[in-house]
Chain A
Amino acid sequence: MSDTLLEVDDLRVTFPTRTGLVQAVRGVSFSLGRERLGIVGESGSGKSQTGRAIMGVTPPQAEVSAKKLAFDGMDLLSMSPRERRALRGSRIAMILQDPKYSLDPVMTIGRQIVETLRTHEKVSKAEARERALAMLQAVQIRDPARVFDLYPHEVSGGMGQRAMIAMMLVTGPELMIADEPTSALDVTVQLDVLKILDKLVAERGMGLIFISHDLRLVSSFCDRVVVMYAGKIVEQIKASELRDAQHPYTRGLLNCMPRIGFERHPLPVLDRKPEWAA
């Protein structure tokens, strides 16, 4: 294992559509060590498609290209689909943006976690159940035994999101791509989930890509932040220095969040400039 877990050089994701090509990701480059990297940017800027391309779950009609896309020194793009699948779920995991659509609606929460675990490790049913319950407990689900037997439509938004997180963490991945993992959680649970992710980075050396639109969270949680706009990286900055960001888009994003104790009605909105997308 090297210190650089992931290298991304000139990543592009292009969708053919009836009205021509949509370039969702247009030449993104960064590298990731055993650290927390935040990706922020507005809706449609290509954050999820960047994560999906790394994970290998880009929609089939889209084309992915890169000068380099390597995980732990292995070239991801030249791998067979089988090798890629084997990596996925064991060494690389992704918490998808929308838990309601990522969980299987006809399988109980508990069974989904147990099956995920059992496809990656040889464990007895009883042990898998124990570990699934422990994981639900770790993501601060009250009464894990009740939730274990519920179907996705029977849990609240935040509970579904945590079930998804539990499912992804139960196999102990080395690279975790977390796409808006805490957007439906109340703030105290949000911090509990971040603590779990933080511990995995600090103690197990996991690499974490944390996609979020919550700049306050990203600046307090991540080490570095990549700011995307229209499929490109417009700024890379140390998270602790996000407040001093230079790009007008980053500054605008920071400025339009409501803050407790600072009344502004209406809130400032972004005045988008065409040259940002150049």
Chain B
Amino acid sequence: MTASITVEGLEVVFDRFRALKGVSLEVSEGESYGLVGESGSGKSTLLRAITGLAPVSAGTVTVNGKTLGKTRDKAFYREVQMVFQDPYGSLHPRQTVDRLLQEPLAIHGIADGEKRIERALDEVGLGKGFRFRYAHQLSGGQRQRVAIARALILEPSILLLDEPTSALDASVQAEVLNLLEEVRRRRKLTFLMVSHDLAIITHMCERLMVMQNGEAVETLTASQLIGHRVSEDYTRNLLRASEGFVRA
């Protein structure tokens, strides 16, 4: 299997604070890879570093065989797209769905925009009626669908997903997770996905990395996690905490 994303010894430093302390991981083509771990451990920073949005001080990022420098060119964004946690913050509320989808097409000078918009909206289960609605007129789940459609419109091979459903209720979450699985299968996408919900990670991913304090704690397959075959105490704590609240 060829590697889709390879991260080696990645360091990110804000002022003097080391948010990532030499993190390495490899995601195969077509694989769905999960990141879990402590809040503030650097999961979002890792995704942002891949997209060129965090101050990398050491280490390398290789995407589809190409080792990246400091900046990302347009071609990069046709390969890699990101979906953020917050469907309220990531879409401009006063823009129509159509305008939100047109924007990346215009930036990349893509001609068959019309077809792509129709396909993307159709794929995320938003009918034609939604195309000229404003973002602020959509529910949280509908907005997240638009964000996914926007990420898909450039036909990337890799999606970086940062807590794509944590702002959604359980029923809408199920719909969005099903949608993500379906587009991944249909478009043969590679996923790198952050979630603090272990059940979501085992549902969506084949392998995962557990992070704490800017470092990798351990790397597991989903079935190792499901079977509690883990070696680190921190991972064990996460599993225990996933069972819910226990009153002392």
Contact = CB atoms under 8 A, between A and B. Distances in A.
Contacts of A189: 38-39
Nearest to A271: B171
Range for the number of chain A residues in contact with chain B: 35 or more
Most buried by A among B166, B168, B174, B200: B174
Interface stretch (B25-33, B70-78, B175-183): B175-183
A205 interface: no
Nearest to A44: B139
A191 B246 CA distance: 9
A266 B181 contact: yes
B164 interface: no
Nearest to B166: A183
A270 B176 CA distance: 12
Contacts of A213: 168-170, 173
Given A253-B170, A259-B199, A187 B241 contact: yes
Contacts of A42: 169-172
Interface in A183-219: 183-191, 194, 198, 213-217, 219
B247 interface: yes
Contacts of A198: 245, 247
Nearest to B171: A270
How large, as a class, is the contact surface on chain B? Answer: 35 or more
Interface in B212-244: 213, 225-226, 237-239, 241-244
Interface string B112-129: 000000000000000000
Contacts of A98: 86, 88
A8 B86 CA distance: 32
Contacts of A215: 170
A157 B242 contact: no
Interface in A134-164: 141-142, 146, 154-159, 162
Interface in A222-259: 252-254, 256-259
A260 B140 CA distance: 25
A257 B170 contact: yes
A267 interface: yes
Given A156-B40, A217-B244, A219-B244, A261 B226 contact: yes
A55 B152 CA distance: 41
B155 to A, nearest CB: 23
Given A186-B196, A187-B196, A221-B244, A265 B174 contact: no
Contacts of B174: 256-258, 266-270
B163 A187 contact: no
A221 B245 contact: yes
A221 B248 CA distance: 12
A268 B173 CA distance: 11
Nearest to B196: A186
A43 B40 contact: no
A41 interface: yes
A78 interface: no
5 contacts: A156-B40, A157-B44, A185-B196, A213-B169, A267-B174
A-B complex: 8 closest residue pairs judged by Cβ atoms = A158-B39, A220-B244, A213-B169, A187-B241, A256-B174, A258-B203, A266-B178, A267-B174
Given A141-B40, A159-B40, A258-B202, 15 more contacts: A43-B140, A98-B86, A142-B213, A157-B163, A187-B197, A198-B245, A198-B247, A216-B244, A220-B243, A220-B244, A253-B169, A253-B171, A260-B226, A260-B242, A265-B181
